[in-house]
Structure 1
Amino acid sequence: MALGAAARPGRTAMKNIAFVGLGAMGRPMARNLVKAGLTVRGFDLNPAGLADLEAAGGTPCGSVQDAFRGADAIVLMVVNAQQAEAVLFDENAIAAAPPEAIVCLMATCPPKRVQTIAERVARTGRRFVDSPVSGGVVGAMVGSLTVMAAAPAETFAAVRPVLEAMGSRTLQVGDRPGQGATVKTVNQLLCGVHIAAAAEALALAERVGVDTRTMLDILTGTAAGSWMLRDRGPRMLEPEPEVTSAVDIFVKDLDIVLEAGRETKAALPLAALAHQLFTSTSGRGDGAADDSQVIRAYRALNGTA
């Protein structure tokens, strides 16, 4: 779809983007927006993120307000809902954005918190899109993220070209804030459980003396394989793999999953166990390690650490 093909009637196509959260995923997402021909003004507390944006052709800003000025769309790729609220509402920063700006919250947040943020944005007269993503750092780098967007049809159509510049699948999963976050919550349940299950299988192979690389090769070619096993499995066998998604991310995300279970009285025993495994790995000092290193929890249990 050409940029602006679904622009809001009576308004020009979205060209000016404010991007806040230039971390491991945010940096390549912002770069892809620049590649798509959009003007990107970014903010992050980490100077490295700002330098990366400038090298890509974007404009680093010294404050959130500076980034928001003149923005058609505001993309938030922050850590959690608390950061999103701080970015938007501390010192009434959102007031610096044009009245017609659309706020796209792309971080993984609890559905109820997303609803609250959306209500606060709406009270300023601006629009909101609940638009979490899946695909990790690799997906962000190659522009193959899946975007799970919830917004009224007109708002979604207006911002869709911006979202499509960062992902290969942009899906409208609902028309109300919180629905995108709910879909992402279910997604993260499976991701966390799949990683933990892959770690358990490879930890068993280690314990019984099977060559783990041979075991991994066998498993990925059978019905027992999964995307997570293929992606995380090789890193589980490395002592210090490159971090593409940290253990603490899944501590947070699975906590959101369990919160959803508590609120709806849904039984989530596998998610609860996976959460404990990630939590114990973090508790041993490995929270910043790659999430594949949840296998260290099994090694500790098995006495093979």
Structure 2
Amino acid sequence: MRTVAVIGLGAMGLGMAKSLLAAGLVVRGCDLSAAAVAALAEAGGTGCATPAEAVQGASVVVSVVVNADQTEAILFGPQGIAEVMPANAVFVSCATMAPEKARDFAGRLEALGRLYLDAPISGGAARAAKGELTILASGRPEAFAAADAALEAMSAKLYRLGDAAGTGAAFKMINQLLAGVHIAAACEAITFAARQDLDLEMVYEVITASAGNSWMFENRIPHVLAGDYRPLSAVEIFVKDLGIIQDMARAARYPVPLAAAALQLYLGAAGAGMGRDDDSSLARLYAGLSGVTLPKGESVS
């Protein structure tokens, strides 16, 4: 039976590990959280103390960390796994990062006789646990072949976007541009509706049945209506991702004014102490600027 190591057992990583187990794969995993490691063991996997321990005997390593810096530390840091992974094992990198970072990591890892698959993900924790993620992958054909069983177990839609690492990362950044702008627009709209003294539950019902709807409006505005800002996707994620988009656009001499405006809102929310709260907290930022009262619930800030 093929062994898969999962590095990072947060909301996404633990769900992905469970979907791998459900597909009959052997799963080893590690995380800084002892509770997350225990949850993997309870689900039938093997909890490990370090990434180096987790990758022992693994033909596939799935890295579900936050950013390029964490990915680099896992691979090439003082306790890195690049030379500990079995020869010809494939490192499946799911972090959202700039394309040039993915290309750099792929080149360095392949020089050591291992494979790299640039494979950012989309879909959220619930879909991760069901093995229904969208995976935007690019890399060498042999990397796809080595990771095939794991990719099939984790995804409902697997896009094979080319033979070069970095392409998957670029696709993900286009998604993040739209997602970040759509969340900002949704939060602006619902708070403006509150400023007009409209029934917000009815606004939600009307908009989700109308042309102005978006996936993000439909998904995030219930958080605002419940007054529940526990983080399913934190404000700081879009501070990072829209910042990457700004860097990419600057290098390409390409204007992204909507993404730039949205980034300022996420920065404002983070600066106001909401960086670790749900990204629907942009509605709270708008409310604070305009004197609007939003529904009260289980808020975290």
- State TM-score, norm by structure 1: 0.93
C-alpha distance after superposition, 1:34-84 (max 9, x if no partner):
111111111111111101110111101111111111110111001111111
Is 1:160 the equivalent of 2:160? no
Rounded to whole Å, the distance in 2 between the matches of 1:262 and 1:121 is 28
Residue 260 of structure 1 corresponds to 248
Rounded to whole Å, the distance in 2 between the matches of 1:257 and 1:238 is 31
Rounded to whole Å, the distance in 1 between the matches of 2:206 and 2:213 is 9
Aligned to 1:75, the other structure's residue is in SS state: strand
Residue 122 of structure 1 corresponds to 110
CA contact (8 A) 1:31 1:53 kept: yes
Residue 105 of structure 1 corresponds to 93
Residue 165 of structure 2 corresponds to 177
**Structure 1 regions of 5+ residues with no counterpart?**
1-13
Please list, as runs of the form range in 1=range in 2, the aligned pairs for 1:141-220 lying within 5 A after superposition. 141-220=129-208
Rounded to whole Å, the distance in 2 between the matches of 1:160 and 1:149 is 11
Quote the offset at 1:85 in angstroms: 0.8
Aligned to 2:77, the other structure's residue is in SS state: helix
CA contact (8 A) 1:160 1:170 kept: no
CA contact (8 A) 2:6 2:28 kept: yes
Taking every aligned residue pair, what percent have the same amino acid on both sides?
A: 43
Rounded to whole Å, the distance in 1 between the matches of 2:150 and 2:230 is 29
Residue 18 of structure 2 corresponds to 31
1:156 partner amino acid: F
Rounded to whole Å, the distance in 2 between the matches of 1:119 and 1:149 is 16
Is 1:71 the equivalent of 2:58? yes
Quote the offset at 1:139 in angstroms: 2.0
**Structure 2 regions of 5+ residues with no counterpart?**
294-301
Is 1:232 the equivalent of 2:257? no
Quote the offset at 1:213 in angstroms: 0.8
2:111 partner amino acid: R
Is 1:303 the equivalent of 2:281? no
Please list, as runs of the form range in 1=range in 2, the aligned pairs for 1:246-285 lying within 5 A after superposition. 246-285=234-273
Rounded to whole Å, the distance in 1 between the matches of 2:262 and 2:127 is 24
C-alpha distance after superposition, 1:222-273 (max 9, x if no partner):
1111111111111122222442111111111111111111111111011011
Match of 2:37 among 47, 50, 54: 50
2:201 partner amino acid: R
1:261 partner amino acid: A
Residue 48 of structure 2 corresponds to 61
CA contact (8 A) 2:60 2:146 kept: no
CA contact (8 A) 2:89 2:146 kept: no
How many residues end up aligned between the 2 structures?
292
Higher mean Cα deviation, 237-246 or 56-65? 237-246
Aligned to 2:213, the other structure's residue is in SS state: coil
CA contact (8 A) 1:132 1:147 kept: yes
CA contact (8 A) 1:109 1:256 kept: yes
1:287 partner amino acid: G
Higher mean Cα deviation, 163-172 or 239-248? 239-248
